[in-house]
Amino acid sequence: MRVAIVGSGYVGLVASACFAELGHEVICADNDAEKIAALTAGEVPIHEEFLPELLARHRGRHLSFTGSLAEAVRNSEVVFIAVGTPPTPQGDADLSYVEAVAREIGLQLNNYTVIVEKSTVPVFTCQRVRRVVAMNANAPVEFDVASNPEFLREGTAVTDFLYPDRIVIGTDTERSARILQRLYEPMTSGAYYGRPNAIASPSASVRIPPPLVITSSQSAELIKHASNAFLAMKISFINAVANICEAVGADVTQVCQGVGLDTRIGQRFLRPGIGWGGSCFPKDVMAFRAVAQECGYDFGLLHEVTRINDEQRNRFLRKIRNTLWTLKGKRLAVLGLAFKGGTDDIRESPAIALIRDLEQESCAIAAYDPAAMDRARVELEGLNVTFCTSPYEAAHDADALLILTDWDEFGALDLPRLRNALKYPIVLDGRNLYPTDLMAEQGFTYASVGRPTVAPVQKPLLSVTVTGKAQ
């Protein structure tokens, strides 16, 4: 099928590469000429596993890039809108980019086309897109508007697309439903997974083929917002439980295990830490609450979800203060700048926010992240932050080490080497990457989230027994 993707951000670029991987002819359009030139030249603007491989495999064959939305629309059967929907100061979604694209699509339509909303948008957006397209069409032309929400996690977006928990298609006509079913047929039939060069499954528990859920457009729009709000709530809930664990001397890791074994709850997202961030949860929770208010319902639970998340970062800052006593003049090593491991995205990153707070307290920061350093340099320009080439360089002569992002490599550090690099063997782990008893045995003062702080294990003194008579 001939598919156009409007927008080359995280969602648009991954969708473009993955639809090309499924065998479709894909054209990705963006009004950023510099970005289109870079993509055409083979550059990969974001850190995402398997994305460079797919772009190299399909660029110039099944996948092309253009700065002309007109070219993309006129040559496609299906047009996806994958532009940004940032929050407004009031908390609802800014749909001006969606409206602008819808208006331009209307001007360029010349054949029956299915226009698909891929961005995260509030309910009734499909209806509004339909109205804008119809008002701007130069001549009577048939088209349908549908919702096909994405459920991609940064860092695993490619495998999330190709091996999804579910595919949701929200449409109000049989014709558009059939077309979108055909678009995903390589996955829903299982044909893609039998290809010798298919991207490998991320786990043995993945359901193949994935279930296909066909709903109304309003239901699909709500499914996306409700899913993200629920996941954010689950993280905030376990963070609140972690705070109670700290107060009573319990271990939140054990609590998570006991709670998560309940199949109605599950283990996923029961990971306490310094809070969620990124481009999705913060804006989607706010936008969903704004949608509820517009409908006349006060979704106060979502306000509390956000409040707990904000407080979690503040609590960790207080934990740093309590552990180090004073912060002024301290040199702190920071591992992690991205909002989560596996990505270079620093938007709404708790790590970046904590660095700003610590720098305001006159701390010197030595930071390291495997992927997010370039973006962080721009964000933290002018602050007392040094960017290092390894965790051990960051730790050299530091008063304490802070783990703020859950990269796999941060959970597999050479602990003796780390202890020798630090001025004082103090680690504050905002992601609970290490067992507390291991850190104590390795000679660290170790503070984490929802678990008792531990001190270095004191080795017993050697006793010498002297036998025989005094000479």
For the stretch 356-395, pLDDT in tens is: 999 999 999 999 999 999 999 999 999 999 999 999 999 9
Residue-range definition of the domain harbouring residue 25: 2-215
Query: Is residue 120 one of the residues assigned to a domain?
Result: yes
Which pLDDT does position 87 carry in this prediction? 86
Out of 309, 324, 350, a domain closes at 309
- Do 95 and 133 belong together in one domain? yes
Domain count along the chain: 3
- Do 6 and 66 belong together in one domain? yes
List the catalytic residues.
280
Helix (H, G, I), strand (E, B) or coil at 117: strand
Which pLDDT does position 458 carry in this prediction? 77
CATH number of the domain encompassing residue 293: 1.10.1040.10
Instruction: Report residue 181: phi and psi, to 5°.
Output: -65, -40
Lowest mean pLDDT among 66-75, 90-99, 109-118, 354-363: 90-99
430/449 Cα distance (integer angstroms): 6
Query: Is residue 432 one of the residues assigned to a domain?
Result: yes
Residue 15 has pLDDT above 60, yes or no: yes
Query: Is residue 420 one of the residues assigned to a domain?
Result: yes
Burial class (CB in 10 A: 0-12, 13-18, 19+), 282: buried
Query: Is residue 471 one of the residues assigned to a domain?
Result: no
Q: What is the mean pLDDT of residues 254-265?
A: 96
- Do 27 and 119 belong together in one domain? yes
Out of 254, 279, 309, a domain closes at 309
DSSP per-residue letters across 136-179? H-SS---EEEEE----PPTTSHHHHHHS-S-EEEE-SSHHHHHH
Residue 65 has pLDDT above 90, yes or no: yes
- Do 106 and 176 belong together in one domain? yes
| Residue carrying structure tokens 């678990």 | 451
- Do 187 and 278 belong together in one domain? no
pLDDT digits (tens, 9 = 90+) for 312-323: 999 999 999 999
Query: Is residue 145 one of the residues assigned to a domain?
Result: yes
Query: Is residue 466 one of the residues assigned to a domain?
Result: no
At 324, which helix (H) or strand (E)? helix 300-324
- Do 179 and 261 belong together in one domain? no
Tokens of 415: 């602990």
Query: Is residue 457 one of the residues assigned to a domain?
Result: no
CATH number of the domain encompassing residue 88: 3.40.50.720
Out of 309, 330, 361, a domain closes at 309
- Do 102 and 133 belong together in one domain? yes
- Do 238 and 317 belong together in one domain? no
Helix (H, G, I), strand (E, B) or coil at 61: coil
Q: What is the mean pLDDT of residues 40-47?
A: 95
Residue 471 has pLDDT above 50, yes or no: no
Query: Is residue 461 one of the residues assigned to a domain?
Result: no
- Do 112 and 37 belong together in one domain? yes
Share of the chain above pLDDT 90, in %: 91
- Do 147 and 209 belong together in one domain? yes
Which pLDDT does position 470 carry in this prediction? 45
Find the Cα–Cα–Cα–Cα dihedral 273, 277, 281, 282, rounded to 10°.
120
Residue 462 has pLDDT above 60, yes or no: no
- Do 285 and 137 belong together in one domain? no
pLDDT digits (tens, 9 = 90+) for 156-176: 999 999 999 999 999 999 999
Query: What is the arrangement of strands in the sheet containing 364-368, beginning at the earlier edge strand?
Result: 385-387, 364-368, 331-335, 400-403, 426-429, 445-447
- Do 234 and 344 belong together in one domain? no
